[in-house]
Homo-oligomer: A and B are copies of this chain.
Amino acid sequence: MDSESLRESLSSLSLPKNHLTLGLTNLINQSKDLSTLLKHKKLPDHPFTDLQIQTIILTLSTLDTNNEFSLNNHNSTAAGRWVGVGEREGRIYSSLVSSRNFGLGHGMGRSGDIMEPQPKAVGSSILVQLTKHLVIDAMIRGAGLKAEKNGGPVNHGLILPICTGMSVALVLSSLREQDESESDVKKDVVLWSRIDQKSCFKAVLSAGFQCVVVPTKIEGDMVVTDMDAMKKNVEKYKGRVRAIISTTSCFAPRVPDSIDDIGRLCKEDGIAHIVNNAYGLQCQTTVKLLNRACVVGRVDAIICSTDKNFLVPVGGAIVTSPNEKMIATISKVYAGRASSAPILDLFITLLSMGLSGYKKLLEERRQLMIDFKSKFEEVAKKYGERPLVCPKNTISYGITLDTLSQPLEGEDPQSINAGKMTSSFGSMLFTRCVSGTRVVAKGGLKTMGGQDFVGFGSSTDYYLSSYLTAACAIGLTENEMNEFFKRLDKCFKDYFAKRKKALKKKIQDES
């Protein structure tokens, strides 16, 4: 309700006029905030309060038809304003469900297009559009991605209530849709710069393509894109390569792919280029790399996770592109409506952060990064290990884990099961309530979709060390980081004490 009508309606309540004026000022200011938000579709500079955010969502929810049905009004004794005689009317049975969804029942999209406005659900439609604009603004003014005339990484975009993996599959499907060539040779191959992570690989298969894994190469400690191998494969599958998938956020020692080089290659050969940038927004180097790749080469779609970048529950992705048609096709290829829950979570979070809050988070991570690296190194050295030197990866850090399986004095080297011992160290950390570390034992093997991945986890067949990685990711607090290194230190100590004790017992038992 606007403030003028409110003032008028309240006139009979005999409140002092000047009090009322001041109170209404708050309301006017809040309306201005909302109006600015809707008009400019920019992330507000400063956070909105929870109460303000709730008011906005309830206002949008009012625009949908379903909240005027009698079923959604548990105490109703009459028909509601709207009557619904379709097969899906957004009715909500449980008041708890209605309340946690602010009455929003229609999800997002229409059968024709995931970003299309719904006639029955104007408020939900606005929510989706607005969130798209806000998140892209956060990517530009917060993270530093560019939207430029000649095509920057975030010139166009859409938000999806599915994760990065399924988003990759959807992007690939939309590429097939765009195929207009009359060539006899079907573009049925996708090249994938090896990254040991299941979702992306499965996404390619799920979309109906053949996934060709392009090996990486080792540079110092780093696992990097092997451009020669990439080129060879483009040659090998000439005419059949529908797309190359590269990755910019990954666990050390793997570092972001050379997406500028890949982009150049794609441009030359007319191949689509999909960048899996799952959690790369928090890293300035990656952001710059993305900006450059769009200038020097071809990039068709960049996929970012909502949860990993904006600290919302799992379930959403943002797909951006320098190419408007690309985005439109993806939007159209999604079959049917979808849950808007991940979008609502993102909407609330962006308004809760404001630009200042998001920048603060990014800055805090950058600050922690320095300590993170040095403290990690410190613990490593204390136990005879060394840091993996991967300057191109500034999110995930690693240290070797080679001492864990070295025979102790008096221990029979034959009795050592290096893989198992290394893995047990990971379990020990988890038992000590440390989550998110990865322990990769040298020489592991995994089979996916019929293909073997040697050294699974390291994204290369040939890594020479076992190692442990940990990430200094957005949202980590200083207390938490310090606590991590304390527990890691303790865990090393416990590990060796345990082994020594077991060895001692064994020797005693044998004697």
The count of identical subunits is 4
* Residue from B16, B98, B479 within 8 A of A51 (CB atoms): B98
Q: Which of B199, B334, B339 contacts A314 (CB 8 A)?
A: B339
Assess the A199–B15 pair: CB atoms within 8 A. no
- Tell me the smallest distance from the CB of A3 to a CB of chain B, in Å: 8
A70 CA to B483 CA, complexed, in Å:
11
Contacts of A65 in B (CB 8 A): 22-23, 26, 433, 435
- A39 with B71: in contact, given A55-B58, A117-B19, A482-B79 (CB under 8 Å)? no
Chain B residues lying within 8 Å of A108, measured Cβ to Cβ, are 314
* Chain A 64-78 interface mask (CB, 8 Å, partner B; 1/0): 110111111111111
Bound CA–CA A98/B352 (angstroms)? 12
B26 to A68, Cβ gap below 8 A? yes
Q: Is A163 an interface residue (CB 8 A)?
A: yes
CB-based contact A279/B87 at 8 Å: yes
Contact, CB under 8 Å: B106 / A480: no
Tell me if A202 is interfacial: C-beta within 8 Å of chain B. yes
Contact A203 B86 (CB under 8 A): no
Q: Is A94 a contact partner of B75 (Cβ separation < 8 A)?
A: yes
Q: Is the CB of B206 within 8 A of A335?
A: yes
**A85 in contact with B433 (CB, 8 Å):** no
Residue in B22, B200, B479 whose CB lies within 8 Å of A70: B479
The digit string for A422-455, where 1 denotes a CB below 8 A from any CB of B, is 0000010011011111100000000000000000
Instruction: Tell me which of A217-225, A264-272, A354-362 binds B.
Output: A354-362
- Mask of A37-72 contacts with B, CB within 8 angstroms, 1/0: 011010000110111111100110111110111111
With A5-B31, A73-B47 as contacts: A94 and B314 at CB distance below 8 Å: no
A5 to B4, CA, bound (A): 12
A339 / chain B contacts, CB cutoff of 8 Å = 161-162, 313-316, 339, 341-342
A471 contact from B87, B122, B168, Cβ within 8 A: B87
Provide the residues of chain B in CB contact with A98, threshold 8 Å. 50-51
Q: Which residues 154-190 of A sit at the B interface, judged by CB distance below 8 A?
A: 161-166, 168-170, 173, 176-177
Check B314–A106 contact: CB distance below 8 A.
yes
Interface assignment of A287: CB less than 8 Å from any CB of chain B:
no
Q: Interface segment, A124-132, A140-148, A499-507?
A: A124-132
Q: How far is the CA of A30 from the CA of B82 in the complex (A)?
A: 13
Comparing A230-238, A302-310, A379-387, A410-418, the segment that makes contact with chain B is A302-310
Q: Is A406 on the interface with B (CB-CB < 8 A)? A: no
Interface presence of A9 (CB below 8 A): yes
B437 and A85 contact, CB distance less than 8 A: yes
Closest CB in chain B relative to A178 CB, distance in Å = 12
Known pairs A9-B35, A117-B19; A164 contacts B336 (CB<8 A): yes
Contact A38 B50 (CB under 8 A): no
Q: Is there a chain B Cβ closer than 8 Å to A99's Cβ? A: yes
Q: Is A508 an interface residue (CB 8 A)?
A: no
- Rounded to whole angstroms, the CA-CA distance of A204 and B173 in the bound complex is 11
Q: Closest B-chain residue to A198, C-beta based?
A: B111
- A38 / chain B contacts, CB cutoff of 8 Å: 6, 9-10, 12-13
Q: How far is the CB of A142 from chain B (nearest CB, A)?
A: 13
Q: How far is the CB of A66 from chain B (nearest CB, A)?
A: 8
Q: Is the CB of A79 within 8 A of B122?
A: no
A residues 469-505 touching B (CB-CB < 8 Å):
470-473, 475-477, 479-484, 487
Q: Nearest Cβ in chain B — how far from A79, in angstroms?
A: 4
Q: A320 contacts the other chain (Cβ, under 8 Å)?
A: no
With both beta carbons as reference points, the residue of chain B lying nearest to A91 in the complex is identified as: B475
In the assembled complex, 22 residue pairs joining A and B whose CB atoms fall closer than 8 Å, in A order, are A1-B35, A10-B38, A12-B41, A22-B122, A26-B68, A29-B81, A47-B77, A52-B62, A68-B433, A85-B437, A85-B481, A86-B436, A92-B312, A94-B345, A94-B353, A97-B349, A100-B345, A101-B313, A163-B335, A313-B339, A316-B339, A339-B339
